[in-house]
Copies of this chain bind each other. A is one copy, B any other.
Amino acid sequence: MPTNAALAETAALIGDPARAAMLAALLDGRALTAGELAAAAGVTAQTASGHLGRMTEAGLLAMERQGRHRYHRLATPAVARLIEGLLEVAAAAPRRAVATGPRDAALRQARTCYDHLAGRLAVAMADAMRARALIELTPDGGAVTPAGQDFLADLGIHATPARTRLFCRPCLDWSERRPHVAGVLGAALCSRCFELGWVRRRAGGRALEITPVGWAGFADAFGIAPEAVRG
């Protein structure tokens, strides 16, 4: 069965420490240069180059040249979901010296996932929006209600020209095991939160810091209690 071989090939591609580190570094949806990815993986530029080429050819990554830099990002949302799924079953595996440090706690609170928000913050946002009937979520799509349109407009998100599919995919994140808003709407919400200064990238990785303005904003606009998001 040829489809089996492809399965193994793809998994093997992800199953190398250096490549896995690169993929994890890209999981927040940003595009990074080859050099940055080499550093993230702890290998030299030439080694990284080989890895990046293979992953791009296999359709895991997409590459874009910009001047003398080459920016690499995850090729599709499906790849991001796949990596998250891998993290999920890896985390469910028998605990081997886990040492759940503060970095993990920060990740669980708020992070980016591909192009949208994840973690307790994102789940709370999705819950709040559903509770107020601003959005509906179905497994294969989702919709913004008229009330939701107004709400989003108030937030400063006007994107939606009538039939844009502002879908939500579960993107069941590995920490919360509950869905949050992904898709076009998720991306719009995420970038708006950045614009408003509600969240900010933390130094070390893809964990996000919620600013004082953010806590106020989330409470105000979404009715989110800080203690529901804080560890």
Contacts and interface: CB of A to CB of B under 8 A. Distances in A.
B88 A78 contact: yes
A51 to B, nearest CB: 12
Nearest to A15: B12
A170 to B, nearest CB: 4
Given A85-B81, A89-B78, A104 B16 contact: no
Nearest to A79: B89
A18 to B, nearest CB: 8
A145 B115 CA distance: 35
Interface string A5-24: 11111111111110111011
Q: Number of contact residues on A: which range applies?
A: 35 or more
Given A8-B19, A78-B88, A81-B85, 19 more contacts: A1-B205, A2-B99, A3-B90, A3-B91, A4-B20, A4-B21, A5-B20, A6-B87, A8-B17, A10-B15, A11-B11, A13-B15, A58-B94, A59-B93, A76-B89, A76-B92, A78-B92, A82-B86, A82-B88
A137 interface: yes
Given A2-B99, A16-B12, A78-B92, A86 B7 contact: yes
A57 interface: yes
Given A12-B15, A89-B79, A92-B59, A139 B179 contact: yes
Of A20, A137, A142, most buried by chain B (CB within 10 Å of CB) is A20
A138 B141 CA distance: 10
Contacts of A172: 139-140
A135 B83 CA distance: 31
A168 interface: yes
A102 B109 CA distance: 48
Given A59-B94, A139-B137, A7 B76 contact: no
29 contacts: A2-B98, A2-B99, A3-B104, A4-B20, A4-B21, A4-B24, A7-B14, A7-B20, A7-B86, A7-B90, A8-B15, A8-B17, A8-B19, A10-B89, A10-B93, A11-B14, A12-B15, A14-B15, A15-B15, A57-B94, A59-B89, A59-B92, A59-B94, A78-B88, A137-B138, A138-B138, A139-B170, A169-B170, A170-B170
